[in-house]
Structure 1
Amino acid sequence: MESLFLKPAPPLDPEWLRYEEEAGLNKPKPTVSMLDRQPAYAAECRNLTARMMAPGANNHYLSQGIVKTEFTVPSFSSTWSVPQQQRDGRADAAFPIPVILYELEQAAPAPHSQEKVVVVYIHGGGLCVGEADSEELSCRRILKDSGIPGLNRVYSVGYRLMPTYRASTSLSDCMDVFHYLFQLIARTAEGNAVKLVLVGSSSGGELAALVSQMAPQGSVDGVVLRGPVTSDAFSGMEYVPERLRPLHTSAGEPSFWNCLLGPMKRDEPRDGLERMPLEAPEEVLKGMPRTWIQVCTNDGLYSDGVCYAKALEDAGVQVKVDVVRGWPHTFWLKAPHLPRALEADRAMLEGLAWVAE
């Protein structure tokens, strides 16, 4: 694991630099409020998904053979979740949390002895932007391309966002949905074993990691994190465990920053959360399931992923790390058509298969 720790970042890959120039990503961005940015970002994601799956596009096949169902889960339903008094003072009424189920049409039934796999997907966006369908391509690719027997359902969570709500509400929404799905699967498994795997990207990785730590041991069977947020090193190294501070270099080193992610600025440390995933006590980390983590070297969050892998490894957890060298933070979401993005997705699918074994 020690070989993964970097002091400066390597140069950005020329292929990314060409795309960055062509797409104008390195040009100054207009200043807009986050509340205005939220619907604009959601629309951008939907438009990109539509273009990628249009007839004649390479990913057109992802539009076929999948049933998409939208429903809601009531908040405050989980006994595992964030205390109600921490949920913005809104404990008097449940909120309908949006969830999307992506399901294979006419999925071949797994053999009776075959364990089924269900994925719960948590999108990124700094806890400020993104909706349940913002990373739809990833959800569909997991269904169509994973090759995992019995994996025919992916649930994507549309948790509430800052600044209207606190980060604790984002987390409690994810906990409530996970609790609901865990109970639903237990009722409908018909005696078959079902593995439940959490997948999260960026801040969705933060939420997925926290859910895996807060849920009862054994309820999560695997975790896949892509470019995850696991600390608040940007607010100060005091939010990184002392033994890991010498290894956490990316938050304070400008060579890791670029047009996709520069230094993160929070209104309050940890966005008000009690702790971040990297700060979990050792007894909590020891109970974690197999975890696969994908990191990009040109990313201020690079050390977040690597340090979390180190903490898990030290706690005796089976963990693997995939390093995408020369590329920025979750670039596969911004430019899914690039060959390197598809390679990163394929690596993710291999990681998913490993945690689901």
Structure 2
Amino acid sequence: MALDPDIAAVMHRFGVDGPAPVPLPGAAERRAGHREFARAVAPEAPPPAGSVADDTLAGVPVRIYRPRPPGPAPAVVYCHGGGFVVGDLDTHDAICRRLCRDVEAVVIAVGYRLAPEHPFPAAYEDCLAVARHVAGHPERFGGGSGVFALAGDSAGATLAAAVALALRDAGTPVAAQLLAYPVTDLTGRGGYPSMEENATGYGMTTAAIENDILLYVGNDPGTAADGRASPLLAESHRGLAPAVIGVGGFDPLRDQVLAYARALEEAGVTVRSHLYPGLVHGFVDYAALAPAADAAVAELVRELRTLLRPAAAAPPRAVPR
């Protein structure tokens, strides 16, 4: 399968269709560039929400999106992507609004601390603290529905998966997890062919991924192998929440994402896994400019809705005459 032409055009437009620059820019420069990119690819008319408000939960900045009309709704804690180094509440506003609208959920986006200033486990601890707070206050987040989920993209999906493991161990019910192209093995020892096949030319490069991992977990192999950092390497995946997982065919992380989906399936977890052959890492960001990316995001969001709102997602029954 060839690279989706619309994706290729967007990457060429932003100059990310070649090798990673040497040396890689510093964190501050990358964060500014990522914010500029997010503004450039954002939809002209952001999906509407009933209300959007910034707040602090468990000492962590969050942005809370509430659907309209108000009433009982699922709660979704969203962890943004950015390689543990970039990204914020603004860069992922569009996907959070879309989840709020299309799932009809209260979405709580987490403004977790970033590496290298705050290495592992800071981001994990922030996301876990917010998730625990939300799960413990269903009357505030979801109007008492008690239906709670985790979601994220890229590094944020890694954090969501790690938090799902922690909440399972604590006995906290999680209805679903939506994981868009997570990095699931930070050790670099997995031997994943896609890390070489898709190393350059498709936006996110293998060199950039490896650099971000180093900034997040450092040089200690034991830290990288910690299940809180590398969900694939957790001791057990049994009893985890049903998962919706998506990855592009031209993503360097493709093979370890699919390995995580298989690990969950082998542990008896319900998994809806999707490989999108023509897409790249970060396709959630391209949804407003590439129809294939938009279709992939729509499918993932729809399947999350099905898990969280099974009655609402099912087709209406015929009324007997």
State how far apart, in whole Å, the 1-side matches of 2:5 and 2:134 are: 43
Match of 1:97 in 2: 60
Which TM-score applies when normalising by structure 2? 0.83
> Does residue 71 of structure 1 match 2:25?
no
For the 8 Å contact 2:135–2:172, the answer to whether it is kept is no
Query: Amino acid of the residue matched to residue 16 of structure 2?
Result: L
SS in 1 for 2:55: strand
Q: Alignment identity in percent?
A: 26
State how far apart, in whole Å, the 1-side matches of 2:204 and 2:82 are: 11
Match of 2:30 in 1: 37
- What is the Cα deviation at residue 23 of structure 1? 3.5
- What is the Cα deviation at residue 335 of structure 1? 5.5
CA RMSD of aligned residues (A): 2.5
State how far apart, in whole Å, the 2-side matches of 1:61 and 1:35 are: 27
Query: Amino acid of the residue matched to residue 125 of structure 1?
Result: G
Query: Amino acid of the residue matched to residue 204 of structure 1?
Result: G
SS in 2 for 1:131: coil
Check 1:255–1:25 CA distance in 2 against 1; reply closer, same or farther (3 A cut): closer
> Does residue 18 of structure 1 match 2:9?
yes
For the 8 Å contact 2:283–2:293, the answer to whether it is kept is yes
* Cα distance per residue 1:234-280 (max 9 Å; x no partner): x223xxxxxxx6xx4322x3346434122122332579352310011
> Does residue 300 of structure 1 match 2:300?
no
Check 1:206–1:188 CA distance in 2 against 1; reply closer, same or farther (3 A cut): closer
SS in 2 for 1:175: helix
SS in 2 for 1:129: coil
Which TM-score applies when normalising by structure 1? 0.75
Q: Which runs of 5+ in 2 are unaligned?
A: 311-321
Q: How many pairs were matched up?
A: 294
Match of 2:181 in 1: 227
Query: Amino acid of the residue matched to residue 25 of structure 2?
Result: V
Q: What pairs up with 1:141-152 in 2 under 5 angstroms?
A: 141-146=98-103, 151-152=104-105
Query: Amino acid of the residue matched to residue 20 of structure 1?
Result: M
For the 8 Å contact 2:279–2:293, the answer to whether it is kept is no
Q: What pairs up with 1:189-268 in 2 under 5 angstroms?
A: 192-215=144-167, 216-232=170-186, 235-237=188-190, 248-251=192-195, 253-255=196-198, 257-263=200-206, 264-265=209-210, 266-267=213-214, 268=219
State how far apart, in whole Å, the 2-side matches of 1:354 and 1:211 are: 21
For the 8 Å contact 1:222–1:355, the answer to whether it is kept is yes
> Does residue 138 of structure 1 match 2:95?
yes
Q: Which runs of 5+ in 1 are unaligned?
A: 1-9, 54-59, 75-95, 111-115, 238-244
* Cα distance per residue 1:57-97 (max 9 Å; x no partner): xxx261x44311001123xxxxxxxxxxxxxxxxxxxxx32
For the 8 Å contact 1:122–1:199, the answer to whether it is kept is yes
State how far apart, in whole Å, the 2-side matches of 1:188 and 1:119 are: 9
Answer with 38-47 or 292-301: which moved more: 38-47
